[in-house]
Amino acid sequence: SQELEQSPQSLIVQEGKNLTINCTSSKTLYGLYWYKQKYGEGLIFLMMLQKGGEEKSHEKITAKLDEKKQQSSLHITASQPSHAGIYLCGAVPSGRDDKIIFGKGTRLHILP
């Protein structure tokens, strides 16, 4: 079965610093989603990647899918308190495009 590993599990960063969150799959991905969740709230869509080597940006957040389509990284530049929350990667398994399986999430804390 498809497994997604997110690292780190938790991250504490000084405001203004850059950071990277990784998402690794045990199998080739058909597609990869990144979502953000404020503590105790619903999920906010950030971006979706489908092609190997694809890179997308939204404001200060950039995500990339590697050429083999088994690993994605999410990079935040000049972090702000509004970036705090849980970041979840979700994968569409190859051959089964009808469901999304999520990793365990990365908790991000921003220190002022």
Partner 1 sequence: NAGVTQTPKFQVLKTGQSMTLQCAQDMNHEYMSWYRQDPGMGLRLIHYSVGAGITDQGEVPNGYNVSRSTTEDFPLRLLSAAPSQTSVYFCASTRGALTEAFFGQGTRLTVV
Residues that bind partner 1 (CB under 8 A): 1, 6, 9, 30-31, 33, 35, 41-43, 45, 48, 50, 88, 90, 92, 97-105
SS (H, E, C) 20-67: EEEEEECCCEEEEEEEEECCCCCEEEEEEECCCCCEEEECCEEEEECC
The least CB distance from residue 1 to partner 1, in Å, is 8
CB of 47 to partner 1, least distance (A): 9
**Least distance between partner 1 and beta carbon 78 (Å):** 26
Q: Which is nearer to partner 1, 60 or 102 (CB)?
A: 102
- Rounded distance between C-alpha atoms, residue 82 and residue 65, angstroms: 24
Nearer to partner 1, 13 or 101 (CB): 101
Q: Map residue 71 onto helix, strand or coil.
A: strand
